[in-house]
Amino acid sequence: MKLLSSVLCAGILATGVVANTPYMTPYIIEHDIEWKELNNWLWKFHYVAHGHRWNRAFGTSGDNETRELLVFRTRKLLRKHLDTTIQKFTHMYEHTKNITLTGPGGQNVSVMTLEYNHATPLPDGISAPLIDTPVDDERGSACFKDQWEGVDAAGKIVLVKRGKCAISDKLKLATAHGALAVVLYNQVPGNTTGPMPEIDSRGHVELTSGNITAATLGVGNVGKLVPVGLIGLHDGLAWSKRLAAGETFNVTLLVDAIAEEREGWNVIADTKRGSNESYIMIGAHYDSGPNSPGINDNATGVAVLLEIMRSIKKYIGNTSKVRYAFWGAGKKGQIGSLHYASQLTEDEADRIKFYINLDMIASPKPIYAIYADDDADKAGAEIMFKHLTTKQEQPFFYPSKPSYPAFYAKHGNTSDYVAFRKIGIPTSGFFTGGATENDECHGMRCDDLYNVVNKYGSLYSLEDIARAVGYTVASLAIDGSKIPPRKKTCGNPASKDGVLRTFEEWEDTRRMMEKERPCCGGSNVV
């Protein structure tokens, strides 16, 4: 059988002719999935990360190399089987390279940056007198206009306590009052870890340090605020006390930060076989977080797509086409998939019958969560559920595989199904659990190859899920008659033409990230 199918496959590659090609069945696809092929892809992504300071994050060279690998596979090697489109979008790339805060005695104060921070002049930073703002723990300090009355911030660096309102609100008021920069001090005790912020392996400043929680200024505020440094409560109170006692002194804040639009890409590959009137879609984001090789999150999802693709191409699928989507900038708030959905016409959206999302599907201590919120979602989810409830296999390499109970879970708002739910396409997907319970390495340097291939739980779930998804995609592509049509109204009585409005709002994905949009589930991304 193996030999026969590889001979057939070689025949197809050589001639592009499909004579004698067998018909696809769910069973055949499921049994074609091979662990060594999945493993092979994980190695490849591990080595891409290795060559790029252990990450494959949006806007970096590691992201580019990951995409090139996918394009080579789909557009070049499998060009006889697939029609591949590369869809470009732009999104804000940001990082802080350095941040320092020098006190009046020339001492270094431990300081953290915030996401989308603004740069000070370099190389000297901003040196100016420090002034205090009134503390208001009830309403939040420096959150409202009236709290700035009598504060002469012009040309100064302002000391502000964190808490209650968005940090960007405090910074907007500081900026409006002519401040040069803000020193924000934490509202709860706890210090940053060292005398200097931690510089990670890429030479970037970590967003988290010690036990002060990280925060973002929001992508929508880029270019609108003064630079800010976040310090511990202890240090903030000490300065506040000195200012209250009538002392005057200068501090120096240096922020070396970058925020700029960079290009991202979705790689979308359709099977040539099947009717162009209906598509079963399966997607995974291919970028990693900024400090991680991203093997469980999400080279695993990508590997499963590629392996299902390798299998499906060998057979005749005579009903729907299968569409594989490799999303860019998934970690940045599902930008790639939102962009994709925002560009679909009504007709194109109608033809997508079902979407299956794979994100983190080989956590070392896995749970088998299958997304489904309603019966429409269950039209696909149920097939996976049944498969995993009845057919978990005993792999040869492990003596006693536990059986992981599959269960239905509601979609959240942190992966690429969000965009599809917003336009009413039935969706499902898998999730094997995140930090810290199921994957201690989530988002970290240690989410590398060994986070998956050295851990039995990961190996099991990857293979189980690959088979279940392969089976399901084939089932739906052969017969999607049980899937209900796309929901075109969002169940929001306030919105007359919800879908149209949604599309309009999507014109600008950045604007969208800032907004709350109560349509078709899947709440907003921040």
Q: Which of residues 120-179 bind ligand NAG (CB under 6 A)?
A: 123, 127-129
Q: Which two tokens stand for residue 265?
A: 């890409």
Single out the segment in contact with ligand NAG by CB under 6 A; choices: 74-82, 187-195, 239-247, 393-401. Answer: 187-195
- Applying CB under 6 A, among 21, 187, 489, 523 the residue interacting with ligand NAG is 523
- In the bound complex, what is the minimum distance in angstroms from residue 76's beta carbon to ligand NAG? 16
Binding of ligand NAG by 276 (CB under 6 A): yes
DSSP-assigned beta bridge partners for residue 440: none
Work out whether 208 is an interface residue with ligand NAG (CB under 6 A).
Answer: no
- As given in the structure block, the two tokens for residue 278 are 């209906």
Which residue, 98 or 133, has its beta carbon nearer to ligand NAG?
Answer: 98
Among 12, 24, 184, 381, binds ligand NAG (CB under 6 A): 24
Query: To which H or E segment does residue 40 belong?
Result: helix 35-50
Tell me which residue of 112, 221, 93 sits closest to 166, measured CA to CA.
Answer: 221
Residue (58 or 147) nearer to ligand NAG, CB: 58
Question: Exposure pattern of 346-369 as b/e (b: 16+ CB <10 Å)?
Answer: eeebbbbbbbbbbbbbbbbbbbbb
- 66 part of the interface to ligand NAG, by CB under 6 A: no
Does 434 participate in binding ligand NAG (rule CB under 6 A)?
yes
- Contact status: 412 vs ligand NAG (CB under 6 A): yes
Closer to ligand NAG at the Cβ: 120 or 141?
120
Please confirm whether the linkage preceding 298 is cis (ω < 30° from 0): yes
Q: Any contact of residue 285 with ligand NAG (CB under 6 A)?
A: yes
Within 322-361, the residues that bind ligand NAG by CB under 6 A are: 330-331, 359-360
Residues 6+ apart with CB under 8 A from 251: 101, 102, 103, 104, 109, 127, 128, 130, 157, 183, 239
Give the whole-angstrom CA distance, residue 509 versus residue 146.
Answer: 34
The reply on whether position 23 binds ligand NAG by CB under 6 A is yes
Cβ–Cβ < 8 Å for 74, 324: yes
Restricted to residues 500-519, the positions that interact with ligand NAG (CB under 6 A) are: none
Residue choice 16, 121, 178, 190 for contact with ligand NAG (CB under 6 A):
190
Nearer to ligand NAG, 98 or 392 (CB): 98
Does position 313 interact with ligand NAG (CB under 6 A)? The reply is no
Which residues have C-beta within 8 Å of that of residue 462, sequence separation ≥ 6?
Answer: 35, 38, 300, 303, 304, 361, 362, 452
Q: Which of 117, 311, 415, 451 binds ligand NAG (CB under 6 A)?
A: 415
CB of 67 to ligand NAG, least distance (A): 8
CB of 154 to ligand NAG, least distance (A): 11
* 156 burial via Cβ count (<10 Å: 0-12, 13-18, 19+): buried
What's the min distance (Å) between Cβ of 345 and ligand NAG? 10
Q: What is the Cα–Cα distance from 403 to 489, expressed in whole angstroms?
A: 40
Whole-angstrom distance, CA of residue 498 vs CA of residue 298: 32
The full DSSP string for 102-138 is E-TTS-EE--B--BT--PPSTTT-EEEEEEE----TT
Q: Does 250 bind ligand NAG (CB under 6 A)?
A: yes
Alpha-carbon distance of 326 to 431, in angstroms, equals 17
Residue of 254, 281, 312, 367 interacting with ligand NAG (CB under 6 A) = 254
Contacting residues toward ligand NAG, per CB under 6 A:
23-25, 60-61, 64, 98, 100, 106-108, 123, 127-129, 188-191, 196, 199, 210-211, 232, 234, 250, 254, 263, 276, 285, 297, 318, 330-331, 359-360, 412-415, 431, 434, 478, 523-524, 526
